Structure 1
Amino acid sequence: MSHPALAFSEAEYRVRISRAREQLVARGMDALLCFAQESHYYLTGYDGGGYVFFQCLVLTAEEKPLTLLCRRPDVSQARDTSLIDEIRIWLNAEDTDPANQLRGILSDLGFAGGRVGIELDTYGLTGKNHAAIQAAMDGFCTLVDGSDIVSSLRLVKSETELDYIRKAAALADDAYDSALDTARAGVVDAEVTAAIMTTTLRGGGDVSPAGPLVNSGSRAIYGRGVGGPRPLDAQDLLILEYAGTFRRYNCCIERSISIGGPTEAQRKLHGLVRETLEEMQTAFRPGDTLGTVDDIHRRRLDAAGHAEHRFAACGYSLGATYRPSWMDVPPMIYSGNPLVLEPGMVFFPHVMVGDPETRLAMGLGNTVLVTETGCEVMSRHSLDLPVR
């Protein structure tokens, strides 16, 4: 069977599957129940959305068929976009019980009494479905947390993955150009959002797994997007945070734009935020630990009196993700994180300051690639504070 929709070569997928199986053997697991769509995509190419229901890929430690349990609307997509060998279907009905169907798959594979890993740290497994699985597997096999098996493999990107991330970076930069062309006093901020999304899609990218954050006025201190359009004032601050997305791979950018010219307080804060981010970027060196990046973040902002106005973490890993988030976590960038940086890892460090009392805010962020000697900043844009 040919797979024209595969994002990577079949050989690359086979290597990924082999490495995941080596991890299962090393941990004494007979199989892994993959509920993260990111795991499905990484291991087999399966690009779908059925993870919002009950959907599970069974990866075995031994070379046995890759089996997917899903709903009927996902079958054709799974066949066309993946290397999955066998697809089982559960049907919507009052008495439907996909957890017991999953037990049946494991029984057919000979895992009664076995030790089976399960991905728990994922949006693809709700608490209700996890409880149903626990009940179904009670007395049949032993379930153990295997959430980090595939996600740890996904941290270091292949050259093909990095090609996709670079394309995503170009899309993010092009979208910023469009945002700068659109942002003006009197313009509704939703038009800036539309410019970002339209540029990305027209450039051959995907819809981002999360909506662009386009916050202005008193909303600029928020760390999340907010519903409802808002016209930009004659003097305003617009903070953008979004991902350029290509073949599900994300490259994030965060920038601040002054409408009508910055106040002296905004200009001073921008300088602090910029210098902090620039020093943080120098800390992405192979062999160093991820937590040192946040050490810089905390030291600089706390010394300037913003300990209560900064985030407790200053970024996260990026890769290929699905809704609701482009954050490919863990890992988060927080002080004390012992993860040792390796070439091929991709992160989004950002500095966001928001004072709820004065409503003074500023945010900047870049996606960086850890290289053999340091890091590569993925954006072509400067960290200036443009005025519109």
Structure 2
Amino acid sequence: MSATGPAASSVRPFEDPEYDRRLAAARHDMAARGLDALIVFAQESLYYLFGYDGGGYVFFQCAVLHAEDRPTTLLCRRPDVAQARDISRIDEVRVWLNAEGANPARDLLAILKDEGLEGSRVGIETDSYSLTGFNCRAVYEAAEGVVDLVEASGIVRGLRVVKSPAELNLMRRAAELADAAVTAIARTARPGVLDSTLTAAAMTAMLEGGGDMPPAGPLVNSGSRAVYGRGVGGARGLSDSDLVMVELAGTYRRYNACIERCVVVGAVSDAQASMHALVRDTLEEMLEAFRPGEPLGRIDEIHRARLDAAGYADVRYAACGYSLGATYRPSWMDVPPMIYAGNPLELRPGMVFFPHVMLGDTRTGLAMGLGETVVVTDGAPEVLSGLLRDLVLA
């Protein structure tokens, strides 16, 4: 039931050879771990391997990928069948039906049996928003004594960390959308305007630019809320002298590029200017450290050293960023990996991260933040935003 022909390939973001390469790499890693098959639950994995784009992951949805070159079977609900058929490269689709006492884990077990996997060693992706604790327990209970389930969340996730040239092109487009969103916020911000209006301006700029709805946010926190590290419900009107913390993702074909800036309404105080200079200088040193062969943890060591020396040890974060890629709700954070001190992951060309320096000083009520999407290359890192790192004046 997989999609074929020019119409189908135009829906998917990549050509067939890209997916062929990904499947071959996944099967190679599966074989190296002694796995006969992999139960793919993460929607990000389904998108990466097969171009399958949908929202059924919020219920119970998975695919059985064999280590050998055999057809792949998707188990989903009826509303997801047409997208799986028309868009993805998945071979077969089975449906589980909503009913009192329905247990799709038993439907999954039937697929494993039908495909000759009884007694086999089967990997499973459990580290995903797509598999709730309730459903995970049901899968393990159904599989007991039938197959040997092995944790294998890192197989596809590990492949996704390094982006292909085609993926990087999509992320560059996403970064242009993120820049447009920040620019729209700056043009809209003025005393009396609701901060929700700024969010609307950002979303309009991205969607009118051909982007997707981002998988989270945007974070647009003003006034006393600027010290928060998460968004908060309820609109607030901007005052005559205000700071708006902006963190958002531009999203294109599900690929995310993030940016963080501070928009100031009114005059910039000396304290704000000093705080911004520290944050900017810290981020710029961090960006220069994204060199191939370096450990990822080195970035946070710079972050900690600079902020701790300036007296912010008690308010800085314990991590300063994360990997980016194609993700689905509820987060644009494509983790792991996270950027934290001691992370031994070796930086490689094609990796994409969002390092940021975000200070919400609850002692003074002052906040400041800057963040960039950066690509690791063979040499100097590539920063995807074209905007300056100055305070954005409304």
Aligned to 2:274: 268
Q: Is the 8 A contact 1:342 1:371 kept in 2?
A: yes
Number of positions where the alignment pairs a residue of Structure 1 with one of Structure 2 = 388
Give the residue type in structure 2 aligned to 1:20.
Answer: A
Q: Which of the numbers 337, 347, 367 marks the counterpart of 2:353?
A: 347
Per mean C-alpha deviation after superposition, the further-off stretch among 23-32 and 169-178 is 169-178
* CA deviation vs aligned residue, 1:1-21 (integer Å, no higher than 9, x gap): 322311110111011011100
Corresponding residue number in structure 1 for 2:90: 84
- How far apart are 1:386 and its partner, in Å? 2.5
Contact 1:242 1:252 in 2 (8 A): yes
CA-CA distance at 1:171 after TM superposition: 0.7
Which amino acid in the other structure matches residue 115 of structure 2? L
User: Deviations for 1:258-289, whole angstroms, at most 9, x for unmatched residues?
Assistant: 11012211111001000000000001000001
Deviations 1:169-205 (A, max 9, x none): 1111111111111011111111110010000000000
Per the alignment, residue 165 of structure 1 pairs with: 171
SS of residue in 1 equivalent to 2:393: coil
Aligned partner of 1:143 in structure 2 is: 149
Q: What is the rounded CA distance, in whole Å, between the counterparts of 1:189 and 1:331 in structure 2?
A: 32
Establish whether residue 61 from structure 1 lines up as the match of residue 67 from structure 2: yes
Letter aligned with residue 353 of structure 2: F
1:126 is matched with 132
> Match of 2:198?
192
Which of residues 274, 285, 290 is equivalent to 2:291? Answer: 285
What's the Cα RMSD here? 0.7
Once residues 202 and 64 of structure 2 are traced to their aligned partners in structure 1, the CA distance between those partners, rounded to angstroms, is: 38
The residue aligned with 1:307 is: 313
Q: Are the counterparts in 1 of residues 22 and 49 from structure 2 also a CA contact under 8 Å?
A: yes
1:32 aligns with 2:30: no
Deviation digits for residues 332-355 of structure 1, max 9, x if unmatched? 000000000000100000000111
Do structure 1's residue 387 and structure 2's residue 355 form an aligned pair?
Answer: no
Task: Within 5 Å, give how 1:39-50 maps onto structure 2.
Answer: 39-50=45-56
Structure 1 position 374, deviation (Å): 2.5
Residue in structure 1 matched with residue 161 of structure 2 by the alignment: 155
- Name the counterpart of 1:365: 371
Q: Which residue matches 1:245?
A: 251
* 1:19-60 per-position Cα deviation (integer Å, ceiling 9, x unaligned): 100000000001111110000000000000000000001111
- Please give the TM-score of this superposition, normalised by the length of structure 2: 0.97
Kept in 1: contact 2:180–2:206 (CA 8 A): yes
For residues 121 and 234 of structure 2, the distance between their equivalents in structure 1, rounded to whole angstroms, comes to: 49
Q: Could you say what secondary structure the match of 1:237 adopts?
A: strand
Is residue 318 of structure 1 aligned with residue 324 of structure 2? yes
Secondary structure, aligned partner of 2:336: coil
Runs (5+) with no aligned partner, structure 1:
none
Alpha-carbon distance in structure 2 between the residues aligned to 1:6 and 1:255 = 32
Which of 230, 235, 240 pairs up with 2:236?
Answer: 230
CA separation in 2, counterparts of 1:123 and 1:70?
16
